[in-house]
Structure 1
Amino acid sequence: MENTKLREQFIRDMKLKGFAEGTQKAYLSCVILFVKKYNRNPQELGETEIKEYLFQLSEEGRSKTYINQCYSGLRFLYETTLKRDWESYKIPRSKQKKRLPVALSQQEIYTLITETKNLKHKAIFSVMYSGGLRVKETTSLKADDIDSKQMRIYVSDGKGGKDRYTILSNTALKDLREYCKTYRITDSYLFKGRDSETPLSNRTVQSVFKQIKEKEGLDKRATVHSIRHSFATHMLESGVSIYHLQRLMGHTQVQTTSKYLHISNLSALQITSVQDKLFGSVKEL
């Protein structure tokens, strides 16, 4: 994107919109690659080139997630920065297959936390499961975010720039106190990186989870984000309403939270067939 003025305006618009830093980088990267393909000013390009480019990505075998990311980046550029009528372009968005989240069982969560011997890593997994936190939300936690009096965790600037409170369990509090005492954590980030001014990287947490998962033989499909999925699933199974869970998870729409109903244990939810109620659970002799 050689047009420096346009590039600066595009970045300014994304910041004004409140996009996360990662989203800004991803959108800018997509736009730069699009412009390089045609080697022309974006203002000279339009519907034909955009459709051709997105089709090319599909033919190259790029993931639907990446294609949709490029679609969103280009749409923001043309619709917001260049003030074009995007709807008139009639560019279809790649339809993504909706996959069910992978959640660990309660026994697997217990194994994960108890078999993590490093106090720092154990505290991280414990806090994540306690409040259903995302990895970045966990690594961004500061000492003041832990409210031991009201037993809650303050999540600042979560996904979508939303703040929220979620649950702090007694178990997680115990693990945190042991960790903080050993590592002499008093202020700033709870889980520091290489220096005291930066948080631990998300990649490090992902790597540690993968090592323990393989060592303990946990669900092969699971990622560190499965800890959050597990919290949601187990909370529903324990009887927490989906509307309360929505607030704890920080979801904007209840439909996002409802996906956990599909992977919850139906017997734990005490859901039975209406046929059994109708026929009084009569069994054959």
Structure 2
Amino acid sequence: MYESYINKIEDVGKLRNLKPKTITLYQKNVSRFLNYIQKNPEELTCEDARNYLLHLQGKGDKASTLNNNNGSLVFFYKRVLGKLWDDNLVPRAINDYAVPEVLSFHDVEKLLNATEDLKYKAIFAIMYSSGLRISEVLHLHYEDISRKNMQIYIRDSKTHTARYALLSKRALDILTEYWFTCGRPTGILFPNKWTGEYLTTSGPRLVFKKSLKIAGLPHSIRMHSLRHSYATHLLEDGVDIRYIQTLLGHRSPKSTEIYLHVSNKALLGVQSPFDKRAGEING
């Protein structure tokens, strides 16, 4: 009944260079909305969107979920249907921001030591030592690793903005061991061993959970906590939050300010905490 409109979301999304995951999310959210409202899309009003979001709120959905659906409906109304959107009638919900879950450096070490598979050990080491998202790590290519400049080139960022990240010497050592042991990949750095294509996040997620259990760490910790830990440890070491914003690839400083729950010391210079703390332990 609504297939043609759902397909239009994909067409418009591609023209606007949206990520495939974003397009799929919009399609799922809008499909649920249309099935709930049961109206001709050409006759939809902002009141319909408001009623649907109130329905989701009544079910107990969190503010982040409401805003997720709000964004999908805004895109559908404005970009696909060409309708006006009333932000006053259908406002975004105020988010409840939780303090990020952060691992101590010793917990990071325990996690890596509990990860036997070199491929996933390298993935987790890069996530922590360079503050990368899991999607960014999985889309790395061999040529993105600069041993000369000790940098990583991020080509596939969530924000569509290319950037450079720190390359930790310790992480490079783990990565080099993986590279020599696991076939010396010269294209995709962490290819699926069966297809040669990019890994999905499901494999690393399963291994991460297994490593948490072996290391005796809380099962509630997520892979993204490695990125949170990187940012928090840099703050603890006195790195200015503006540098951290750049390293993390945040467009808005508000995204980085969530880490200000940690006291900021004097600026010591940008160095990966993966290397700095290792020197403290070995020294």
Q: Same-fold call, TM > 0.5?
A: yes
Cα deviation digits, residues 26-51 of structure 1 (max 9, x gap): 11111112212233221112122212
CA distance in 2, matches of 1:98, 1:206: 23
Paired-residue identity, % = 33
Cα deviation digits, residues 170-201 of structure 1 (max 9, x gap): 10111111111111223121112143531222
The aligned residue for residue 63 of structure 1 is 62
Paired letter, 1:157: D
Paired letter, 2:265: L
Cα deviation digits, residues 245-271 of structure 1 (max 9, x gap): 111100001221121121x2x3x8369
Paired letter, 1:204: G
The aligned residue for residue 211 of structure 1 is 210
CA distance in 2, matches of 1:252, 1:89: 26
8-17 vs 45-54, greater mean Cα deviation: 8-17
The aligned residue for residue 230 of structure 2 is 231
120-129 vs 54-63, greater mean Cα deviation: 54-63
In structure 1, list runs of 5 or more residues that go unmatched: 272-285
CA distance in 1, matches of 2:230, 2:244: 10
In structure 2, list runs of 5 or more residues that go unmatched: 268-283
SS in 2 for 1:87: coil
- Structure 1 contact 130–169 (Cα < 8 Å) conserved: yes
2:93 pairs with 1:94: yes
Paired letter, 2:31: I
Q: Which has the larger radius of gyration?
A: 1
- Structure 1 contact 236–269 (Cα < 8 Å) conserved: yes
- Structure 1 contact 104–230 (Cα < 8 Å) conserved: yes
CA distance in 1, matches of 2:15, 2:74: 16
- Structure 1 contact 19–160 (Cα < 8 Å) conserved: no
CA distance in 1, matches of 2:134, 2:233: 19
Work out the number of aligned pairs and report it.
Answer: 267
CA distance in 2, matches of 1:165, 1:246: 12
CA distance in 1, matches of 2:29, 2:206: 27
The aligned residue for residue 110 of structure 2 is 111
Once the 2 structures are TM-superposed, how far is the Cα of residue 240 of structure 1 from its aligned partner? 1.6
Residues 190/196 of structure 1: CA separation in 2 closer, same or farther (3 Å cut): farther
Runs of 4+ in 1 over 3 A off after TM superposition: 6-9
Q: TM-score, normalised on structure 1?
A: 0.87
- Structure 2 contact 152–167 (Cα < 8 Å) conserved: yes
Quote the RMSD (CA, aligned, Å). Answer: 2.0
- Structure 1 contact 128–227 (Cα < 8 Å) conserved: yes
2:265 pairs with 1:269: yes
- Structure 1 contact 20–160 (Cα < 8 Å) conserved: no
Residues 36/163 of structure 1: CA separation in 2 closer, same or farther (3 Å cut): same
Q: TM-score, normalised on structure 2?
A: 0.88
CA distance in 1, matches of 2:7, 2:116: 47
